[in-house]
Chain A
Amino acid sequence: MHVPDGFFTAAVSVSAGVVAAAGMAYCLRGARRELDDRAAPMAGLVAAFIFAAQMLNFPVAAGTSGHLLGGALAAVLVGPYTAVLAVAVVLIVQAFLFADGGLTALGINITLMAIVTAVVGWAVFRLVVRALPRGRPAITAASFVAALVSVPASALVFTLLFWIGGTAPIEVGTVALAMGGVHLLIGIGEGLITALTVSAVLAVRPDLVYGARGLTAPLELRNPDGTTRLAEPSAPAAAPAAASARKGGFAPFALAGLAASLVLAGVVSFYASGDPDGLERVAADHGLDAGEQEHGLGDSPLADYGVAGVADERLSVGLSGIIGVGVTVAAGGALFYAVRRRTRDEVGASGTRTGSADGPDRARA
Chain B
Amino acid sequence: MGAGHHHTLHRPGDTPVHRLPPQCKLAAVAAFAIVVVATPRTAVWAFAAYAALLAAVAAIARIPPGFVLRRMAIEIPFVLFAFALPVIGLGERVEVAGLSLSVEGLWAAWNILAKATLGVVASILLAATTEPRLILVGARRLRLPPLLVQIAMFMLRYLDVILDEMRRMRVARESRGFVARDLRAAPVLARSAGALFIRSYERGERVHLAMLSRGYTGSMPVLDDRPVPAAAWAAALSLPAAAAVAAALAWTLG
A interface with B by C-beta (< 8 Å): 1-2, 4-7, 9-10, 13, 24-25, 28, 31-32, 36-49, 51-62, 67-68, 77-78, 85-86, 89-90, 92-104, 167-169, 189, 192-193, 196-201, 203-205, 208, 289, 293-295, 298-300, 302-304, 306-307, 309-314
Name B194's contact: one of A25, A98, A197 (CB within 8 Å).
A197
B155/A93 in contact, CB under 8 A? yes
A7 to B4, CA, bound (A): 23
The contact string, 1 if C-beta is below 8 Å from chain A, for chain B 193-214, is: 1111110110111011001100
Q: Look across to chain A and name the residue whose beta carbon is closest to the beta carbon of B103.
A: A169
The contact string, 1 if C-beta is below 8 Å from chain A, for chain B 173-200, is: 0000000111101110111111111101
**For the complex of A and B, 4 pairs with smallest distance between CB atoms:** A44-B154, A6-B115, A54-B2, A200-B194
Stretch in contact with the other chain, from B13-21, B55-63, B123-131, B224-232: B123-131
B37/A51 in contact, CB under 8 A? no
Q: Which residues of A contact B208 (CB under 8 A)?
A: 37-38, 41-42
27 CB-based A-B contacts, threshold 8 Å:
A4-B75, A4-B116, A6-B115, A10-B37, A24-B145, A40-B151, A40-B154, A45-B200, A48-B163, A51-B159, A58-B180, A67-B2, A86-B151, A93-B152, A93-B156, A95-B123, A96-B127, A98-B8, A104-B30, A104-B36, A168-B108, A196-B186, A200-B194, A204-B194, A295-B2, A307-B81, A313-B97
A55 to B4, CA, bound (A): 7
Q: Which residues of A contact B148 (CB under 8 A)?
A: 24, 28, 85, 89
B interface with A by C-beta (< 8 Å): 1-6, 8-9, 26, 29-30, 33-34, 36-38, 41, 71, 74-78, 80-81, 84-85, 88-89, 92-93, 96-97, 100-101, 104-105, 108-109, 111-112, 114-116, 118-120, 122-124, 126-127, 132, 135, 139, 145, 147-148, 150-159, 161-163, 165-166, 180-183, 185-187, 189-198, 200-201, 203-205, 207-208, 211-212, 216-218
Q: Which residues of B contact A294 (CB under 8 A)?
A: 3-4
B30/A103 in contact, CB under 8 A? yes
A69 to B112, CA, bound (A): 24
How far apart are A181's CB and chain B's nearest CB, in angstroms? 17
Interface of chain B, helix or strand or loop or mixed? helix
Name A7's contact: one of B33, B74, B78, B163 (CB within 8 Å).
B78
A184 to B30, CA, bound (A): 34
Q: Which residues of B contact A60 (CB under 8 A)?
A: 182-183
Beyond A6-B116, A49-B197, A52-B159, list 8 extra A-B contacts (CB 8 Å): A7-B78, A32-B147, A40-B150, A51-B159, A99-B74, A99-B127, A102-B115, A312-B93
B111/A167 in contact, CB under 8 A? yes
A13 to B119, CA, bound (A): 14
A102/B120 in contact, CB under 8 A? yes
B166/A52 in contact, CB under 8 A? yes
Q: Which residues of B contact A46 (CB under 8 A)?
A: 200-201, 204
